[in-house]
Structure 1
Amino acid sequence: MKVAIVVAGLIVVAVAALVAIQPSFLKPASLALVKKSDIFGFSPGMTFDETSKLISQRHYLCRPGPGSFTLECDINGAKVSVDSDAADARHPIWRVSATLNKPGSQEAAVQSISEQFNAQAIKGRDGWTWIVGRGFKLSYDGLALNLVDEAAEARLRKDEAKR
């Protein structure tokens, strides 16, 4: 019995030492690859029902926007616009835009966004872009963030061109 207690104590000490040296030891490997892919909880691909539930849970103040499937929300001082696909019966979100009230320095904002989304920024003519989530494109021009499902956007443009 005493031997079992000593062995159990040694195992506990070994695990504690391992966690002290390498804290990520206790994190599941699947969490290491998870990337943020939303703005204020809104993410491309969310259905109308999921969007309505999010708005209710978080008590967001939203109103219909200029388009039939556009919502405009005021969240923590940011003006957020959520565009959904009108042709699909589930009305999935394809774009989320947020105009920030006081974004601060662009360098600090880019670094913060890169850390939040666990992605590397790419500098372009019009600002910065990141590839996040399931291939969504996030862009920042110094004032506004745009999160777009590029495949859905391309399909919607193709459908508009046919009309």
Structure 2
Amino acid sequence: MKVAIVIAGLIVVAFAALVAIQPSFLKPASLALVKKSDIFGFSPGMTFDETSKLVSQRHYLCRQGRSASTLECDINGAKVTVDSDETDARRPIWRVNATLSNPGPEEVAVKSISEQFNAQAIKGREGWTWIVGRAFRLSYDGLGLTLVDEAAETRLRKAEAKR
């Protein structure tokens, strides 16, 4: 009996030491892979109902844009435009654009965006790009962020070309 107590004590001490050295040991593997994939809570794939609920919960000041499928919001000094698919009854978001009022130095902004979205920035001719979430493309041109579901964008462009 004494031996079992000693062994149990050693197991508890070893486990405590492991957690002290490597705290992420207790985090589920699924959480380690989670990446941010939204701008101010808006994310491609959200339905109209989910979008309306988010606007109400966070008390965002929003109005309908030029078309029925566009929502324009003023959030913390940023002009946010949310485009949804008007051909789908659920009206899922396919693009979120945020024009920042004072983004600061580009290098600092790119580093901050990379940290927030847990993704590596790729420098291009037109600015910076990240792949986030489930194959969303995030781009930054020095003034604004755009988050796009590339598959939905391609599908919508093909549908638009057919018209």
Q: In which range does the TM-score fall when normalised by the shorter chain?
A: over 0.9
Secondary structure of the equivalent of 1:83? Answer: strand
Opposite residue 11 of structure 1, the aligned amino acid is I
C-alpha separation in 1, matches of 2:78 and 2:12 = 48
Amino acid at match of 1:130: W
How well do the aligned residues superpose, as a CA RMSD in angstroms? 1.4
Mapped to 2, the partners of 1:81 and 1:127 lie a distance apart of 19
Distance 2:151 2:101 in 1: 29
Query: Are residue 88 (structure 1) and residue 88 (structure 2) matched?
Result: yes
TM-score, normalising length: structure 1: 0.93
1:63 matched to 2:63 = yes
Aligned residues: 163
Give the equivalent residue in structure 1 for 2:151. 151
Counterparts of residues 1-163 of structure 1 (less than 5 Å): 6-163=6-163
The alpha carbon displacement at 1:20 in A equals 1.7
Task: Compute the displacement of 1:85 (Å).
Answer: 0.4
Letter in 1 for 2:83: D
TM-score w.r.t. the length of structure 2 is 0.93
The Cα of 1:9 is off from its aligned counterpart by: 4.0
* Offset from partner CA, 1:98-131 (integer Å, 9 cap, x none): 0111111111111111111111110000100011
Q: Report the secondary structure of 2:153's partner residue.
A: helix
CA distance in 1, matches of 2:3, 2:59: 57
Q: Secondary structure at the match of 2:46?
A: coil
